[in-house]
Amino acid sequence: VDETKTLSAMPKFAIGIDLGGTTIKTGSVSLDGTILFDCSVDSRANENPSAVIDQILLTIRTVFDQYPQADCVGIGVGSPGIITVEGGIVQYPPNFALWTEVALGKRIQQAYPDFPVMVENDANVAAIAESRFGAGKEIDSFIFIIWGTGVGGGIIINNSIFRGPSGGAGEIGHISVDCAGRQCNCGNKGCIEAYIGQRYLSQRTREQLERSTTRSRIVELVDGDLTKIEPIIISMAAMEGDELARNILVEAGELLGCALSSAVNLLDVPVAIIGGGISAAPDFVFDAILTSLHDRVMAPHKPNVRVLRAKLGNSAGMIGAASLVM
Ligand SMILES: [Zn+2]
């Protein structure tokens, strides 16, 4: 028996950890970006950092119960907050009440001293995943947008993530489209997130319904309870021909295209890849984003603008985290 051959038949893998405000999803990911195994636990985000770290370590042990440590090439983490890649320090992640600054990378490294450990911002990690294994595989430079609860982003230039000197680059959601516009959580006014982030989009839909005198399918879909409005409901109503729902989504697409045009003009990167929960929106929303973007960018960019759907969905976090150490 050729032992080397037998050994090399075992897939090498990296561990990718997607640290979220409610769950931690951890997977073993093969070097071609396939998730071989994954598990998830409650992130215990309301407790001390050590409780969260214990949960992370628990998921790593769960992977190593299934796959031998000898085949693991490293451990990567996608985390909310601003990350100092050197030392894997996580600063003020939203939804983690008791975290200020936590040396997350170091804590994992102490438990697993034999492996490279890398920590990166969660939006950046998803952008990296799309770049290496998803919709951006054939595209050297693009702007990645996570359109969900908030509006996050990452910038890929020449197949690498652009972090900026302090790691804070890519905050597409806080491009202001109206300096006297809606108040955003960040303190600024008119940020694109304050119009099209999940909560704001639902809230603006409620406001319009309360003013509207025509019947809307949205109201029927939530049995008259307007607090139940979510982007998926608005999409369903739009697909069934509801005009108000369709207008709201088209407007959201136009606003996003407007914000993106500033980013395209600034960076000379004419391709946008859009992921996140709301990116499941119907094609006409993507058409609205593209038309708005095309109309607003400077002339030299017009022939090159493209808006694509992300491909990796909810797995982008795990795959991108794993690819940090591949
Ligand atoms: Zn903002």
> Which residues face 241 on adjacent strands?
none
148-201 confidence digits (pLDDT tens): 988 999 999 999 999 998 888 999 999 999 999 999 988 999 999 999 999 899
242 CA to centre of ligand 1 in angstroms: 30
User: pTM to 2 decimals?
Assistant: 0.92
High-pLDDT (> 90) share of the chain, %? 87
Are 149 and 170 contacting, i.e. CB atoms less than 8 angstroms apart? no
Residue 132 Cα distances to 144, 147, 160, 202, angstroms: 13, 20, 10, 33
Residues 152, 21: Cα–Cα separation, whole Å? 15
253-280 confidence digits (pLDDT tens): 999 999 999 999 999 999 999 999 888 8
CA-based max dimension of the chain? 79
SS3 of the chain: the string is CCHHHHHHHCCCEEEEEEECCCEEEEEEEECCCCEEEEEEEECCCCCCHHHHHHHHHHHHHHHHHHCCHHHEEEEEEEECCEEECCCCEEECCCCCCCCCEEEHHHHHHHHCCCCCEEEEEHHHHHHHHHHHHCCCCCCCCEEEEEECCCEEEEEEECCEECCCCCCCCCCHHHCECCCCCCECCCCCECECHHHHCHHHHHHHHHHHHHHCCCCCHHHHHCCCCHHHCCHHHHHHHHHCCCHHHHHHHHHHHHHHHHHHHHHHHHHCCCEEEEECHHHHCCHHHHHHHHHHHHHHCCHHHHHHCEEEECCCHHHHHHHHHHHCCC
174 CA to centre of ligand 1 in angstroms: 4
188 CA to centre of ligand 1 in angstroms: 5
> Which residues face 14 on adjacent strands?
29
> Which residues lie closer than 8 Å to 141 by C-beta, 6 or more apart?
156, 157, 158, 159, 269, 271
202-226 confidence digits (pLDDT tens): 999 999 999 988 889 999 999 999 9
Q: Which residue has the tokens 């960018």?
A: 297
Mean pLDDT calculated for residue range 71-99: 92
96 CA to centre of ligand 1 in angstroms: 19
122 CA to centre of ligand 1 in angstroms: 18
38 CA to centre of ligand 1 in angstroms: 34
173 CA to centre of ligand 1 in angstroms: 7
Q: Tell whether the model's pLDDT for residue 29 goes beyond 80.
A: yes
130 CA to centre of ligand 1 in angstroms: 25
292 CA to centre of ligand 1 in angstroms: 21
> Which residues lie closer than 8 Å to 215 by C-beta, 6 or more apart?
none
87 CA to centre of ligand 1 in angstroms: 28
Confidence of residue 9 (pLDDT cuts 50, 70, 90): low
287 CA to centre of ligand 1 in angstroms: 25
32-42 confidence digits (pLDDT tens): 999 999 999 99
Check residue 3 and give its pLDDT: 46
Compute the residue count for the chain.
Answer: 326
317 CA to centre of ligand 1 in angstroms: 23
150 CA to centre of ligand 1 in angstroms: 10
Looking only at the bridges linking them, the beta strands covering 82-84 and 23-30 are unpaired
Cβ neighbourhood burial of 32 (10 Å; 0-12, 13-18, 19+): exposed
85-95 confidence digits (pLDDT tens): 888 999 988 88
206 CA to centre of ligand 1 in angstroms: 21
126 CA to centre of ligand 1 in angstroms: 21
Cβ neighbourhood burial of 276 (10 Å; 0-12, 13-18, 19+): buried
Looking only at the bridges linking them, the beta strands covering 306-309 and 271-275 are parallel
191 CA to centre of ligand 1 in angstroms: 5
183 CA to centre of ligand 1 in angstroms: 8
Residues 63, 108: Cα–Cα separation, whole Å? 14
